[in-house]
Amino acid sequence: MAEAARIPVIDISVQGEEEQFRVAEELVDAAIEYGFIYIKNTGKDIPVEDIENAFKISEEFFTTTPLEEKQRCSIQQNNRGWTGMNYETLDPKNQRAGDFKEAFNFGEFNEGKAQQPLPSTFVPYESQVSRFRDLCYNVCLKINTLLGIGLKVQPTDFFTTAHLREKGPSGTTLRFLYYPPLAKTQADREDVRAGAHSDYGSMTMLFRLKGQAGLEILTRENTWAPVPVCPPGTEDDPAPPILVNIGDLLSYWTNGLLRSTVHRVVFPGPGKGAVEGESDTEPRYSIAFFCHPVGTTSLTPVPSERVRSFAGAGDGTNGNPYAERKVLTADEHLQMRLRASYLQLYNEK
């Protein structure tokens, strides 16, 4: 069995300046070393019922919505809507088939209303989805603030300000994901449910369900390590931790100091890659909140002594294959990545 990733578990629900400073440093250390951080789920930032409810809505959508209804809301170049089985290919250079998953992307809401066509299954839950998106947004701001403190960026709220939605539209997306078990697909065990990729935004918050295997990260040693849903020490928490990972934009912003780690979702198979107590024989559901700064934000390195003094990506340990590309704004980066993974969507037009 492959050895599980040892990603730190951090409690961000602390009070007081001194504690906050300590947590900020822990977050930055984990973001540099792993690019992934477990945020202990205390239920304080996002009530556990809201997470459970979001999964219920997602499951109802994927299991009951007729195909025509999903197709009516197919993904558009604005990155909103439904993606069918094998439609997205996150690692086109290495995949034989597109990702074995379905997904639904929610863009921004305005006063509780989605700004995109919604399948009928979601209509009764529109305000609940909007609320969940707001809860995620607030945690994203909080983590951005802590990263700014930990890196001593001048001013420390630099990242947070760049994410404020009142400053303009962004690529921020709430995504419900569904991965069928191997037996319900045409896939071979070697096919991927989500190809190897780094995330396109500044950071991602991932919600997973106990017992559902599949996520792996690429380690510094270039091996794949499974990421347990419930790492040691979180078994008694009210819900599994929220898995946060650094995306390409925080990596650009910090000259590659913060790591945009490559990850994928696989069919690990019995006794092979799966963590004890997890399996891939049941359908897998996950929910991702992709945080993006305002689209016009420039991705030049931020004012921080720590970032300035970092030697940069030249040592080959940076997980973000795009770190050295010249990209100007958050929107331009997002468009570049979407073009590469939705071949049909961009070739059809």
In the complex, the residues that contact ligand AKG under the rule CB under 6 A are: 177, 194, 199, 206, 208, 215, 263, 265, 286, 288
- The residue number whose beta carbon is nearest to ligand AKG equals 286
Give the nearer residue to Fe ion in terms of CB position, either 148 or 201: 201
Q: Which among ligand AKG, Fe ion, none contacts residue 206 (Cβ within 5 to 8 A by kind)?
A: ligand AKG
Give the nearer residue to ligand AKG in terms of CB position, either 148 or 228: 228
Of the ranges 119-127, 169-177, 196-204, 246-254, which one interacts with Fe ion (CB under 5 A)? 196-204
133 Rama class: left (phi>0) / alpha (psi -120 to 50) / beta: alpha
Question: How far apart, in whole angstroms, are the C-alpha atoms of residue 200 and residue 192?
Answer: 19
Distance of CA 80 to the CA centre of its chain: 16
Q: Which among Fe ion, ligand AKG, none contacts residue 287 (Cβ within 5 to 8 A by kind)?
A: none
Give the nearer residue to ligand AKG in terms of CB position, either 102 or 199: 199
Give the nearer residue to ligand AKG in terms of CB position, either 225 or 265: 265
Both tokens assigned to 85:
């089985």
CB 114 within 8 A of CB 126: yes
CB 206 within 8 A of CB 219: no
User: Residue for token digits 């919604």?
Assistant: 118
Alpha helices in the chain (DSSP H): 17-33, 48-64, 67-72, 126-150, 158-163, 248-253, 305-309, 330-341, 343-348
Of the ranges 7-15, 130-138, 161-169, 195-203, which one interacts with Fe ion (CB under 5 A)? 195-203
199 binds Fe ion (CB under 5 A): yes
Give the nearer residue to Fe ion in terms of CB position, either 148 or 268: 268
Interacting residues toward Fe ion by CB under 5 A: 199
